[in-house]
Amino acid sequence: MSKPTILLIYTGGTIGMAKDPKTGNLRAFNFDNLLTKIPELNLLDCQITTVSIQAPIDSSNMTPNHWVEIAELIEHHYERCDGFVVLHGSDTMSYTASALSFMLENLTKPIIFTGSQLPIGDLRTDAKENLITSIQIAALQQKDTAVVQEVAIYFEYKLYRANRTTKINAEHFEAFTSLNYPALITSGVHLNINYEALFKPKLTQKLNIHKTLNTNVTIVKLFPGISKPIITALFSLPHLEGIILETFGAGNAITNKWFIELLQATLQRGVHIVNVTQCLQGHVIMGQYETSTQLKKIGLISGHNITTEAAVTKLMYLLSKTNTPNEFRIAYETSLRGELS
């Protein structure tokens, strides 16, 4: 039996930096010499090849155009490779990985995003473990079929469904969490696989890559004392087609008459508004409290327990399709890639 072939896709980020021993400065790491730099990778039972996006960047500068570039690299190598590991800065990793989960329809191979909090050449780096285990997970097969068949993020001994993740810490190695969905794999002495949590794709359908995303969207976070003129200006922006409204608790919002009327007027213009909770854990349940009853009545879309990262990328994905308002609502409130429950 041939060994699985894993493609490493480098996009930039801390994991791609190494310290110059002479100057102490950080510089981009040459991934063509990956096996020389990390000889432990030779112990993995797979073949590793590498590729980079055209211009690697800090993840703070990541855009939907880069998401398409990553998707096209996966598309180009999809038949020849058994799994993919995407090296990415941690700051916007959840956004990119969530977007890819929607863009790659009928995916049956693992796309594992990983990165690090310290550069790969640092003495205390978390990069080596994250990279080695990500490759090992991407190469996992049972009966010639990939164990993981979805987009995921591996960081600090945990593999999470990508579109369930949020970055919660800028300093600790445990940078990500998934509070509304369990870990897919936990790395210890052994890899403990949560088979029940893994996504089950339709194996009979071919990979379909969606490369068009609609970025005419915004995120509005409610807070006590939010200004009517400011929020009115935001909701009145030209070309606006979708809003992620981050509400309180279980989907609650202010009940001022002007606010409800503003929401109604925005909906009547054809702008989709998705109700997403500001809380890291829990569901939007419109109608549970009086402060969300009117939101349900006027027709806001429920984000259920979706993360903000997945909410905005799902909005971009669905807005690129031609749907009636009712079809859009049904699609948004349906779990497409395991992003909500």
Q: Which residues are catalytic?
A: 14
Distance between CA atoms of 157 and 186, rounded to whole angstroms?
6
The backbone torsions φ and ψ at residue 227, rounded to the nearest 5 degrees and listed phi first, read -85, 130
Instruction: Map residue 88 onto helix, strand or coil.
Output: coil
State the CB neighbour count (10 A cutoff) for residue 44: 17
Secondary structure string (H, E, C) spanning 184-233? CEEECCCEEECHHHCCCCCCCCCCEECCCCCCCEEEEECCCCCCHHHHHH
The backbone torsions φ and ψ at residue 175, rounded to the nearest 5 degrees and listed phi first, read -85, -25
Find, among 167, 186, 164, 184, the residue nearest to 176 by Cα: 167
Alpha-carbon distances of 1 from 44, 45, 46, 110, 143, rounded to whole Å: 15, 11, 11, 20, 11
